[in-house]
Amino acid sequence: MKILAIESSCDETAAAVVEDGRTVLSNIVASQIEEHKLYGGVVPEIASRRHIESICGVVNGALEEAGLAFGEIDAIAVTYAPGLIGALLVGVSYAKGLAMITEKPLIPVHHIAGHIAANYISHPDLKPPFLCLVVSGGHSHIVEVKSFTSYRVIGRTRDDAAGECFDKVARVLGFPYPGGKYIDDCAKLGSKTAYKFPKPKMTGCEYDFSFSGLKTAVINLVHNAEQRGEELKREDVAASFQKTVADILGEKLSLAAKATGYRDIVVAGGVSANSGIRSKMKKICDSLGARLYLPELKYCGDNAAMIGAQGYFDFLAGRRADESLNAAATLSLEDISL
């Protein structure tokens, strides 16, 4: 089964063709990073306008790369939640129109479910159930993946997501947007123990995260040094910060794995590309005797291949949408479980 997938939840206009949920026939991404760098972050209005300008070319490019015509596509999948509402609406509106014209089934796909499904592409033998850590610019979750379409969120961030924290710390350290890669590269040159940053203790749910205090601690360290005329070694700040984020994520994931008994551990989302976090997750899984699954780097960030992968399993489960499909800025994974 060949699915044409469309992703436009933030600042990447993407389209892909995926066969049977595992094989990527094409994967096209039009990035807006260079434009948003000027503002230090994503400007929603600009993102929406660029999606409008790019989506036709990106979809046509995905079909051309796959060597297929619209008539050879079996269904159309689209990200409809969560994300920037204006950006989502571009993809949803285009996909609805395309589905009506081609008379193909329309499959609504949850963005976080898509990130999880990126691992189905990178690891063809991976099947639920398993425990998944989702870390991206807007989301930090620990998810019990019960089946290809059923989820239980057992931990989540209460404020900033890990990726958001990386971007804000990168900005104060003088790195351009998006800052995660720059911190990762810089951290390799610094000392992980040069600074001791806080690890918030959460009440109510031991698997929940909080990154706002860590972000504030780094910002205060940099600003106080500037006010005193002191020079900080940026490499040490980056290394110590990255280690702290990895430790927080690793500790929570380890607790959840021990409590649930899962020995298949999956990591997904844009921040899963971070070398420090990948290394930490490997150590955690080794200590637990668990198998670790990580997406290939090209499938860590937002892309349409992951939407096509999840769209296949959603289709098999009977999920369909009609012309009434709307975008949603926020929507829990648990609300879509089948």
How many domains does one find in the chain?
Answer: 2
pLDDT confidence bin for 203, thresholds 50/70/90: confident
Its pTM surpasses 0.85: yes
Question: How much of the chain, in percent, has pLDDT values that exceed 90?
Answer: 93
Mean pLDDT of 194-219: 91
Q: Cα(41)–Cα(103) distance, rounded to whole angstroms?
A: 38
Question: For residue 110, is it within any domain?
Answer: yes
User: Residue 143 above 90 pLDDT?
Assistant: yes
Domain with residue 265: its CATH number is 3.30.420.40
Q: At 22, which amino acid appears? A: R
Are residues 80 and 23 part of one domain?
yes
Q: What is the chain's mean pLDDT, rounded?
A: 96
136 and 170 share one domain? yes
User: Could you read off the pLDDT of 291-322 as tens digits, one per residue?
Assistant: 999 999 999 999 999 999 999 999 999 999 99
pLDDT for residue 15: 98
261 part of a folded domain: yes
Flag whether 123 is in a domain. Answer: no
Task: Give the domain range for residue 32.
Answer: 2-116+299-336
Determine the Cα–Cα distance for residues 157 and 209; give it in Å rounded to an integer.
4
**What strands, in cross-sheet order, belong to the sheet with 12-19?**
23-31, 12-19, 2-7, 75-81, 106-110
Q: Do 52 and 83 sit in the same domain of this protein?
A: yes
Are 155 and 105 contained in the same domain? no
What proportion of the chain, given as a percentage, has pLDDT over 70? 100
Task: Provide the H-helix boundaries in the chain.
Answer: 33-37, 44-66, 85-102, 111-122, 162-172, 180-187, 212-228, 234-260, 275-288, 305-316
Task: Copy the structure tokens of residue 142.
Answer: 């620990």
What's the pLDDT score for residue 338?
A: 83
Residues 6+ apart with CB under 8 A from 110: 79, 80, 81, 82, 310, 331, 333, 336
Confirm whether 121 is domain-assigned.
no
Is 238 inside any structural domain?
A: yes
pLDDT of residue 200: 84
Which of 45-59, 101-115, 192-206, 235-249 comes out lowest in average pLDDT?
192-206
Residues 141 and 269 in one domain: yes
Among 5-9, 57-61, 162-166, where is mean pLDDT lowest?
162-166
Question: Which helix (H) or strand (E) covers residue 50, if one does?
Answer: helix 44-66
Same domain, 138 and 207: yes
**321 and 177 belong to one structural domain:** no
Q: Average pLDDT, stretch 244-273?
A: 96
Is residue 308 within 8 A of residue 16, CB to CB? The reply is yes
Predicted local distance difference test score (pLDDT) of residue 267: 98
d(CA 49, CA 30): 13
In a domain, 203, yes or no: yes
pLDDT digits (tens, 9 = 90+) for 66-94: 999 999 999 999 999 999 999 999 999 99
Residue 298: phi and psi, rounded to 5, are: -70, -15
Same domain, 265 and 305: no
Q: Which residue has the higher pLDDT, 117 or 202?
A: 117
Same domain? For 218 and 166 the reply is yes
Compute CA 223 distance to the chain's CA centroid, rounded to the nearest angstrom. Answer: 30
Residue 83 burial (CB count, 10 A): 26
| Domain match, 81 and 219 both | no
What is the DSSP track for 249-263?
A: HHHHHHHHHHHH---
Indicate if 167 and 134 belong to the same structural domain.
yes
In a domain, residue 122? The reply is: no
- What tokens does 254 get? 């380890």
β-sheet bridge partners, residue 144: 131, 152
Amino acid type, 151? Y
**Distance between first and last Cα of the chain:** 21
Judged against a pLDDT cut of 90, whether residue 119 lies above it is answered with yes
Is 183 part of any domain? yes
Residue 290 and residue 178 share a domain: yes
